[in-house]
Structure 1
Amino acid sequence: MGAWGRLAAELAASGRLARIAVAAVAGSAPREVGAAMLLRPDGGFTGTIGGGAFEWRALAIAGAALAEGRPRVIVQDLVLGPDLGQCCGGRVTVLIEIFDAAALDEARALAVTESRGPFLAVGRRDGDRIRRVAVPDDDRAVGLTGDDLVERFGDSRRPVLVFGAGHVGRALILALAPLPFRVRWVDGRPEAFPGAVPGNATPIAAADPVAEMIAAPPGSLAVILTHDHALDLALVDAGLRRADLPYLGCIGSRSKRARFSSRLLQIGHSSESIRRMVCPIGVAGVDSKAPAVIAASVAVELLIADRVARNTLGAAREVVRAGREECV
């Protein structure tokens, strides 16, 4: 369920609802522009804008407005150091909207739009409400400028192919469940899949897994974890013939990489092309062979690969070298 579907469902159940969104950020902050959460009249909430004193202050402001029982739009600037004692040092603008039952039709209409794919909601403050118009997604900046609010909604998750439904494959599917990926889980053995899988994963019992690699959407990340080394090699071969896959990982040791590299050279791949194969997989420094640990390490590597694919190569290399600045 998308953000507007969730909001519509909560609003239908409670009759009133507060939405708290990060509308602008200057300096270091716990979350990015667009992060949002929902607050119910009973005090329950879903989502997060970063936690800590910052989030609790925003929840308190939203809770007081929600208790008034009428639609409202509140724009609140919070300086994290002086106002809240957080060492981040940044400034965050939060936008709080109080929805009532009269907004339900609009929320449901936006939920339908969201179900069709990514889009921008361009809103303008109109008295006590924000009136939104859905427009096609593009590269415009999101956030609040004057009375204009631009937000991005819809499923823009990176496609990931996971080949293999063994122990590591199952652990990786669970590790990817809460992350911003859309997963095709491929194995030629229908009986290898569990009875239930996370909502962002689709099991594919493929008679020809290599065909799945060939047909993968451009920009996909591919992880090869099958029970068959010959199939692993065939999948790597097919993946290397695609110039539009930002990540091609294959489980295995350095000796497996050496054997595969030799064979790939024999069948026509260049040394430069073979360097695209990530084997062993997972971030450096994690050496456990427990499936859950391998899965966690690979999930981090996929997040980095996704970031690299979304940014210029030089900027992404700086991200990988420096790590991500955290504010808690």
Structure 2
Amino acid sequence: MLDIADGLLASLPSGDAVVVTVTRVARSAPRGVGASMAVTATRELIGSISGGCVESDAIALAHEVRSDGRARTARFGFSDEQAYAAGLACGGTVEVIAYLVRTTDAVALRALRSAVHDERVSVLLPLTGPSAGRILDTAAPLASAAVHAELDAARLLGETRCIDADGDALLVLCHAPRPRLIIAGAGEHAAALCRIGAAAGFAVTVCDPWELLVTPERFPGAATLVVADPAEYLRAQAAEPGATDMRTAVCVLTHDERLDVPAIHAALGMNVGFVGAMGARSTVARRRELLSERGVGLDDLARIHSPLGLDLGGSSPEEAAIAALAEIQAVRHGATARPLHELSGPIHSHAPDAAGDRATLPHCVS
């Protein structure tokens, strides 16, 4: 539900919507737990739960829910009796719950507004029991300390997951603010990385001393534009609690030794998961010398991804940006960055291996 907050919230003035949310995936499936689609009061479709494989059956399920207001669950996949009608061509299975989101539902509306504003928010969606399909506040009373601990962990990580509430299954729907991509520099490579990073779901900050370069026209996808010395800005961000986290990536693209060395040095002192810098190998070697002279140790030098990007070929700013973002994503997710056809096992990280379903909770991620 929270992943389609913009469209869902905008649709509610026209009437109640039916939301279909993935509660469990097994084997290979295009979307993970928490992925949602909605059928609005005006019969418009928002979002997707499978990339097209099972949407028609999910829409039919939504119409059933609208007919009487009762939440329903369903399972779609290759192993179903309806495999060829509602199967996933990739061989996976998904389980879903379909439920009404009413225009009068204060908890749901508050959560949707928070998600639209990219604020951290979480709600509970019971999958079984008398409250199944009704959005609950996370402050709702829960039976045991263990359940509270699991809920707190999900909220802290911003991770949608199932928890067992003394026999009943609860889906914790979470929205975490977008991961940040901080770009030091405002040249053509920075503009290309901003466009691609924003399209990939990052909240992009562009920082450069030159006011003429740091403009909305050059960086329409940026969440924040900063005219400042990059090193000074990064040090200020490091001192601001909660400004960055381990999902944050910093890319130094200034092409100016006077700016990039101090900026890299500052980035290494931040709570971030990725520090990268563009440059030729000779430039990289020179930077290492200068950073060493500043007291940067070998461990921190090894954290710098420079030259930035995977070896994908190409030389245009856009091609370089694709290579840079590919490396950022591989590092963030602990991926191999190898071609999928050279690997075996599930393609999607949320899917368990094909050996079987390992879930112990109904409707939960395996």
TM-score > 0.5, shorter chain as reference = yes
Number of the residue aligned with 1:170: 191
Structure 2 matches for 1:145-224, cutoff 5 A? 147-196=168-217, 197-198=219-220, 201-206=223-228, 208-214=229-235, 215-216=237-238, 217-219=244-246, 220-224=248-252
Give the letter for the 2:296 counterpart. H
Structure 2 matches for 1:282-293, cutoff 5 A? 282-284=309-311, 286-293=312-319
Give me the whole-angstrom Cα distance separating, in 2, the residues matched to 1:111 and 1:133: 12
What is the aligned counterpart of 1:301 among 327, 330, 336?
A: 327
Q: Does 1:142 align with 2:140?
A: no
Q: Where does structure 1 differ by over 6 angstroms across 4 or more consecutive aligned residues?
A: none
Contact 1:80-1:92 at 8 Å conserved across structures: no
Secondary structure at the aligned position of 1:53 is classed as coil
Give me the whole-angstrom Cα distance separating, in 1, the residues matched to 2:294 and 2:216: 39
Give me the whole-angstrom Cα distance separating, in 2, the residues matched to 1:301 and 1:39: 37
Contact 1:53-1:86 at 8 Å conserved across structures: yes
Give the number of aligned pairs. Answer: 311
Greater helix proportion: 1
Q: Does 1:123 align with 2:151?
A: no
Instruction: Tell me the C-alpha RMSD between the 2 structures.
Output: 3.0
What is the aligned counterpart of 1:245 among 267, 272, 287?
A: 272
Contact 2:15-2:40 at 8 Å conserved across structures: no
Contact 1:71-1:98 at 8 Å conserved across structures: yes
What is the aligned counterpart of 2:293 among 254, 266, 273?
A: 266
**Tell me, which stretches of 5 or more residues in structure 1 are unaligned?**
308-315
Number of the residue aligned with 1:51: 51
Shift of 1:106: 3.6
Spell out, residue by residue over 1:86-105, the C-alpha distance to the aligned partner (whole angstroms, 9 max, x if none). Answer: 343332111111334343x3
Give me the whole-angstrom Cα distance separating, in 2, the residues matched to 1:54 and 1:71: 22
In structure 2, relative to structure 1, the CA distance for the partners of 1:326 and 1:281 (3 Å cut) is: same
TM-score calculated relative to the size of structure 1: 0.82
Give me the whole-angstrom Cα distance separating, in 2, the residues matched to 1:155 and 1:71: 30
In structure 2, relative to structure 1, the CA distance for the partners of 1:233 and 1:41 (3 Å cut) is: same
Contact 1:5-1:108 at 8 Å conserved across structures: no
Secondary structure at the aligned position of 1:8 is classed as helix
Shift of 1:130: 0.9
What is the aligned counterpart of 1:233 among 253, 257, 261?
A: 261
Greater strand proportion: 1
Give me the whole-angstrom Cα distance separating, in 2, the residues matched to 1:59 and 1:253: 53
* Percent of aligned positions that are identical: 24
TM-score calculated relative to the size of structure 2: 0.74
Shift of 1:192: 0.8
Moved more, 271-280 or 132-141: 132-141
In structure 2, relative to structure 1, the CA distance for the partners of 1:144 and 1:88 (3 Å cut) is: farther
Contact 1:158-1:181 at 8 Å conserved across structures: yes
Structure 2 matches for 1:79-90, cutoff 5 A? 79-82=77-80, 83=83, 84-90=86-92
In structure 2, relative to structure 1, the CA distance for the partners of 1:200 and 1:148 (3 Å cut) is: farther
Give me the whole-angstrom Cα distance separating, in 2, the residues matched to 1:322 and 1:288: 17
Give me the whole-angstrom Cα distance separating, in 2, the residues matched to 1:88 and 1:144: 27
Shift of 1:151: 2.6
In structure 2, relative to structure 1, the CA distance for the partners of 1:16 and 1:141 (3 Å cut) is: closer
Q: Does 1:257 align with 2:284?
A: yes
